[in-house]
Structure 1
Amino acid sequence: MRLLGVAEAAERLGVSTRQVQHLVANGELRRVARGVVDEASVERLIAVRGGSHRRAWSEATAWGAVAILSGSDADWMGERQRSRVRARLRELSAIDLVDRARGRADVTRYRAHSSAGKYLVAELVYPVGAAAASLGLANTTNIDGYLAVDEVAGVVSRHGLTPDEEGRVSLRATTMDLDRVRDLSKRSVVLAAMDLAESLDVRERRAGLEAIERALEAFRD
């Protein structure tokens, strides 16, 4: 694990130390000890936000954007909200969309024993696994999936997961109905691409951003 002091993290992110503390409190940066954060979490936030300091959309709006781009109705939002999201999707770049939609889930990354993989995947909605081949990532070994907020502790305990920003397991805790999440993961590669675009792996991030850009171009046509 590589460590950074709060002041250096603030300098890299282009924000104040108070804002770094706020990012830690929101779970967007991982605190290791008093005044110290995990460098990988800083690098990931820089990659996801692309230099932007805008607030993320609410969870419902973020999922609405994913749904609309995937060809779904996003019927948990009112028509006026859906209209606003459609208008924003016509304006945003792939990087901007990844930044704004990061609030769809709270992401924690873990290190896991190699034997945990297939059992862990069975408990998650796993968009990347289903779409990896079509995104040119058939050999990915990372596990990146969604689960309900109240299921996280149990999954971590059962599979002996250890928090690690550079670990191969990403658990995305959401309050969105998992049947809806599962449906969106089957409708298109958009959700998998959004997840990949948050990766520190250059190949995965590029594949995700390119797929999102194609989806945005198709939406605008």
Structure 2
Amino acid sequence: MVSTCAAAAELGVGEGQVRDYIAARVLAADLSLGGAWDVEPTTLRALARGRGRGRRWSEETAWAALEILGGGATTRLGSSQRSRLRAGLRELTVARLAYLAEGRGTLYRLRQDNGTRRALLVRLEVSGASALAAGGLHDRFDLSPARATLTVGYLAAAVAAEVFDTFLLRETNDGDLLLRVANSPTVNDAVIALDLYGYGETRESAAGRTWLEGALRAL
């Protein structure tokens, strides 16, 4: 685990900002017995890779942007908003995109204490390396098949309480499930690439960045 002091140094911000990130569920963290925060390193690494300044997108705008990148179109926003968003996407770096899209769902690092992982995955939209393993999508991102040690996924807010209760999902930094709860998540290749970039190891992150760079250039 990482202290708030070390996390602040990694991100180039003050410790107060790190605590704000924890409160906003941008960073996953546990309280230690002494009352200090222990920051979970995978979410810290993702936040460090998504650098930027200013207001992040709303959840709806973030998903609209990822739908445009992944499929070319979205119905989430009005036509003028969609046009402005598409034009703005053309100017973004991948790091800036990751920063702006951080608000695409409420973040949880979890452990599953009931039921099988297979049954849980049926209820989620998996992403990142988990989607590659589940869907045989490695070639699409020029990666070799490998078992995902961390399950990354999305869950609709309308069913979140029921899923949490059914599978006894418990927040903990050593859990092997990284879950975002969003109003209406729709995982596509852009979302998978963004989660590869943010949460993947070096080669996975590079593959996600390459895919996103190509999608941004193609707009």
CA separation in 1, counterparts of 2:58 and 2:144? Answer: 30
Show CA shifts across 1:27-65 (max 9, x none). 112342233232414333213x23x34332111111111
Contact 2:29–2:173 (8 Å) recurs in 1: no
Pairing 1:35–2:36 present: yes
Question: TM-score if structure 1 supplies the norm length?
Answer: 0.80
CA separation in 1, counterparts of 2:40 and 2:53? Answer: 18
Given residue 139 of structure 1, which amino acid in structure 2 is its aligned partner?
Answer: A
Equivalent residue number for residue 215 of structure 2? 215
Equivalent residue number for residue 154 of structure 2? 146
* Corresponding residue to 2:135 among 130, 136, 148: 130
Question: TM-score if structure 2 supplies the norm length?
Answer: 0.81
Contact 2:154–2:180 (8 Å) recurs in 1: yes
CA separation in 2, counterparts of 1:42 and 1:58? Answer: 21
Higher alpha-carbon deviation: 137-146 or 13-22: 137-146
Given residue 27 of structure 1, which amino acid in structure 2 is its aligned partner?
Answer: R
Contact 2:29–2:39 (8 Å) recurs in 1: yes
CA separation in 1, counterparts of 2:54 and 2:136? Answer: 29
Q: CA deviation at 1:166?
A: 5.2
Aligned residues: 207
Report sequence identity in percent: 30
CA separation in 1, counterparts of 2:197 and 2:174? Answer: 15
CA separation in 1, counterparts of 2:202 and 2:112? Answer: 22
Contact 1:143–1:169 (8 Å) recurs in 2: yes
RMSD of aligned residue pairs (Cα, Å):
2.5
For the structure 1 residues 153 and 203, does the alpha-carbon distance in structure 2 shift closer, same or farther, using more than 3 Å as the test?
farther
Equivalent residue number for residue 169 of structure 1? 177
Higher alpha-carbon deviation: 32-41 or 108-117: 108-117
